[in-house]
């Protein structure tokens, strides 16, 4: 096993194991954010070091117990909280962020939140890993899916700056060992690094450390973080939007992204979102955020706002707010600390939705007769820019040609209403992608789906009747290569869930 040098002593010398009778159990078992998936593992392992992780994995395998790993608990689906799982290895106490002199890279442990990573890298070095918009997400589950957010159109995805990973893997006989895998061309474990650049979390082993350094040649260790971020917000009342205006507004947003999302395009300085809530659940809202020190970006944002105002036939007041970098990225998610039931469905869009598709969305959002929940919304989020400067096969994250992410989400409390809310979001999504069998088929003009927004519907033959396999949506042409990596590093499928890469032939 590779040696790991810790800067602080481990809080406990041996892995802590907690069973259901232990008073610590409820705090740890209940960490997943989706109340649809109650947790009841027989035991929770709490490691403090990579050696602890290896011991917990080896113990579970030798006892024939099925295991899963948890870092930040932000999984959308039951990939961790699943009734068939016996052991959850909870990495929340492995959360150091620092500098690794041996690899000349920033080392981030999986239990660190994105917020903690942003904070330490910014305060210590003035840099940032481009990562997600919600500071409570765990680095552990975020990065292997690609990882990205507000800085990504300028600087790419988290995995575009991933130098290496340290992973506890289990061989066919269940023996667990710690492996370091880097992107160095001569590294014999390079395939394992590659699998962690978009092959999805929880599929190859337990990551105990991420190593970040931008690819050699760009002259810096990681992208610089801006000193401050300006966000401009415009809200359109549903009273001012009939179907034609709604369609024009959404199309203007999409077409702007078609024109302004090539790598290096000046428009890639803007990170935009268009929130399309159900009528009665809020206003249609444009947010555009950019480096406050860039007047050229401010001009582009104003032009975008004017464009959308013209399309919508009205130009509501613009609210502008400038926050320091940390204040901007550490804003808690609106659902932080709220554990309700939700279902999300998402897709990459290579071009703007056609008018008839947006009109269908308008009808789904405004139909008050068929469905009553105000806590349901669709969002269009910027993609492209620097993300699309990377080749589809350079990393396992294959979505390098989209300009937008479409994201739909519905939230509720009462389990008796599950069918109603699941039905609404599934039917809406199916209608939006009706010309491609109900899914964002990469072979029919769409961009596939984002494995970080886990959606097990794609792997359910009852719910995905498109003929497009779930892995084609998530990994596109990279799946066969991911399967080879799986075959080499986890042939016994110790790490498996509904959306994990299968070994070749499986
Ligand atoms: C409110 C919200 C906002 C989001 N915003 C964004 C965003 O802006 N950009 C984006 O890219 N994604 C976003 N996501 C998705 C998020 O990145 C994924 O849900 C991610 O997998 C969460 O990681 P976690 O560690 O918090 O979750 P967990 O529930 O702990 O784990 C999720 C998955 O990762 C696996 N895993 C966790 N830790 C490890 C590890 N150390 N080694 C191996 N496998 C591991 C788990 O087994 C599970 O399969 C968002 C999610 C939410 C809920």
492 domain-assigned: no
Q: Is the CB of 309 under 6 A from ligand 1?
A: no
Range of the domain at 254: 228-477
- Residues 259, 190 share a domain: no
For atom 11 of ligand 1, the residue with the nearest CA is: 147
Distance 134 CA to ligand 1 centre (A): 10
Question: What is the pLDDT averaged over residues 243-262?
Answer: 98
Instruction: Identify whether residues 213 and 308 lie together within a single domain.
Output: no
Using pLDDT thresholds of 50, 70 and 90, give the confidence band for residue 382.
very high
- What value does the mean pLDDT of the chain take? 95
Of 185, 204, 222, at which residue does a domain stop? Answer: 222
Q: Report the nearest-CA residue for atom 2 of ligand 1.
A: 134
Whether residue 409 has its Cβ less than 6 Å from ligand 1: no
Same domain, 243 and 144: no
Q: Is residue 487 part of a domain?
A: no
Q: How much is the average pLDDT of 83-106?
A: 96
In which band, very low, low, confident or very high, does the pLDDT at 171 lie, cut at 50, 70 and 90?
confident
- The total of other beta-carbon atoms located within 10 Å of residue 239's CB is 8
Ligand 1, atom 53: nearest CA belongs to which residue? Answer: 74
Same domain assignment for residues 152 and 235: no
List pLDDT tens digits, range 274-284.
Answer: 999 999 999 99
CATH of the domain at 302: 3.40.462.20
Q: Which of 193, 222, 251 is the last residue of a domain?
A: 222
50 CB less than 6 Å from ligand 1? Answer: no
What does the pLDDT read at residue 91? 98
Domain annotation covers residue 488: no
288 & 354 share domain = yes
Q: Are residue 27 and residue 131 in the same domain, yes or no? A: yes
The pLDDT confidence band at residue 8, using thresholds 50, 70 and 90, is low
Q: Which atom of ligand 1 is nearest to the CA of 79?
A: 49
pLDDT of residue 19: 97
Question: pLDDT category, 173, cuts 50, 70, 90?
Answer: confident
Could you report the per-residue pLDDT of 118-133, keeping only the tens digit for each?
999 999 999 999 999 9
26 and 140 together in one domain: yes
Question: Is 2 a domain residue?
Answer: no
450 and 422 Cβ atoms separated by less than 8 Å? no
Indicate whether residue 482 lines ligand 1 (CB < 6 A).
Answer: no
Q: 331: how many CB neighbours lie within 10 A of its CB?
A: 15
Q: Whose CA is nearest to atom 36 of ligand 1?
A: 141
Claim to verify: residue 245 and residue 157 sit in the same structural domain: no
Q: Where are the alpha helices (DSSP H) in 169-281?
A: 190-195, 243-259
What's the domain count of the chain? 2
Does residue 4 carry a pLDDT above 70? no
Q: What is the average per-residue pLDDT within 230-237? A: 98
Residue 289 lies in a domain: yes
pLDDT attached to residue 5: 54
Number of neighbouring beta carbons within 10 Å of residue 131: 28
Residue 353, classed as helix, strand or coil, is: coil
Residues 344 and 284 in one domain: yes
419-455 burial code (b ≥16 CB/10 A, e <16)? eebbebbbebbbebbeebebbbbbeeebbbbbbbbbb
Quote the ligand 1 centre to 141 CA distance (angstroms).
4
Listed residues 222, 244, 274: the one ending a domain? 222
Residues 64 and 207 both lie in one domain:
yes
pLDDT of residue 1: 46
- Report pLDDT digits (tens) over 402-428: 999 999 999 999 999 999 999 999 999
Query: Is the residue at 501 inside a domain?
Result: no
Percentage above 90 pLDDT, the chain? 93
Q: Is 114 in the pocket of ligand 1 (CB under 6 A)?
A: no
Question: In this structure, are residues 62 and 107 in contact, taking their beta carbons and an 8 Å threshold?
Answer: no
Residue 202 CA, ligand 1 centroid: distance in Å: 10
Q: Looking at the predicted structure, is the pLDDT value of residue 431 above 50?
A: yes
For 257, which DSSP code?
H
User: Where residue 81 sits, what CATH number does that domain have?
Assistant: 3.30.465.10
Q: Are residues 232 and 139 both part of a single domain?
A: no
Domain for residue 47, yes or no? yes
Cα-only R_g, the chain: 22
Q: Which residue lies with its CA nearest to atom 8 of ligand 1? A: 132
Mean pLDDT, range 224-239, rounded to an integer: 97
Q: Which of 201, 332, 500 to mutate to test the pocket of ligand 1 (most atoms within 8 A of CB)?
A: 201
Is residue 377 in some structural domain? Answer: yes
User: Is 80 exceeded by the pLDDT of residue 3?
Assistant: no
Residue 162 backbone dihedrals phi, psi, to 5 degrees? -85, 115
Q: State the angle between helix axes of 243-259 and 295-312 in degrees (0 to 180), rounded to the nearest 10.
A: 150
Nearest CA to ligand 1 atom 13: 132
Task: For ligand 1, atom 29, name the residue with the nearest CA.
Answer: 73
Looking at the fold, whether 216 and 263 belong to one and the same domain comes out as no
Stretch among 155-169, 214-228, 236-250, 381-395 having the lowest mean pLDDT? 214-228
């Amino acid at each position: 096993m590779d040696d790991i040098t810790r800067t602080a002593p481990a809080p406990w010398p041996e892995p802590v194991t907690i069973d259901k009778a232990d008073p610590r159990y409820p705090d740890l078992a209940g960490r997943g954010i989706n109340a649809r998936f109650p947790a009841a593992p027989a035991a929770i392992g709490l490691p403090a070091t990579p050696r602890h992780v290896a011991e917990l994995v080896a113990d579970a395998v030798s006892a024939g117990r099925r295991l899963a790993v948890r870092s930040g608990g932000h999984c959308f689906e039951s990939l961790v909280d699943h009734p068939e799982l016996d052991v959850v290895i909870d990495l929340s106490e492995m959360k150091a962020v620092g500098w690794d002199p041996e690899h000349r890279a920033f080392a981030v442990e999986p239990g660190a939140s994105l917020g903690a990573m942003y904070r330490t890298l910014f305060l210590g070095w003035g840099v940032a890993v481009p990562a997600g918009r919600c500071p409570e997400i765990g680095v552990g589950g975020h990065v292997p899916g690609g990882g990205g957010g507000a800085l990504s159109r300028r600087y790419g995805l988290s995995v575009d700056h991933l130098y290496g990973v340290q992973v506890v893997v289990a061989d066919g006989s269940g023996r667990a060992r710690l492996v370091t895998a880097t992107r160095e061309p001569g590294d014999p474990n390079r395939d394992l690094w590659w699998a962690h650049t978009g092959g999805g979390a929880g599929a190859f082993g337990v990551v105990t450390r991420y190593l970040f350094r931008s690819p050699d040649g760009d002259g810096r260790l990681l992208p610089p973080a801006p000193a401050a971020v300006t966000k401009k917000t415009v809200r359109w009342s549903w009273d001012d939007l009939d179907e034609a205006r709604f369609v024009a507004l959404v199309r203007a947003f999409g077409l702007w992204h078609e024109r302004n999302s090539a790598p290096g395009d000046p428009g890639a300085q803007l990170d935009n979102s268009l929130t399309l809530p159900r009528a009665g659940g809020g206003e249609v809202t444009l947010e555009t955020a950019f480096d406050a020190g860039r007047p050229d970006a401010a001009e582009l944002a104003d032009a975008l706002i004017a464009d959308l105002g013209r399309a919508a036939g009205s130009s509501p007041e613009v609210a502008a707010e400038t926050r320091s970098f940390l204040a901007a990225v550490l804003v808690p998610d609106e659902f932080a600390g709220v554990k309700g039931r939700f279902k999300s469905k998402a897709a990459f869009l290579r071009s703007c939705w056609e008018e008839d598709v947006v009109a269908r969305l308008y009808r789904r959002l405004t139909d008050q007769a068929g469905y009553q929940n105000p806590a349901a919304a669709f969002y269009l989020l910027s993609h492209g820019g620097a993300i699309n400067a990377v080749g589809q096969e350079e990393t396992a994250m294959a979505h390098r040609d989209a300009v937008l992410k479409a994201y739909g989400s519905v939230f509720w409390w009462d389990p008796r209403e599950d069918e109603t809310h699941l039905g609404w979001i599934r039917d809406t999504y199916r209608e939006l992608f009706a010309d491609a069998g109900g899914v964002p088929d990469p072979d029919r003009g769409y961009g596939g789906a984002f494995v970080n927004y886990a959606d097990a519907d794609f792997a359910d033959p009852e719910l995905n009747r498109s003929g497009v396999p779930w892995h084609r949506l998530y990994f596109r042409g990279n799946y066969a290569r991911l399967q080879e990596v799986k075959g080499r590093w986890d042939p016994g499928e110790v790490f498996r869930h509904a959306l994990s890469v299968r070994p070749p032939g499986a």
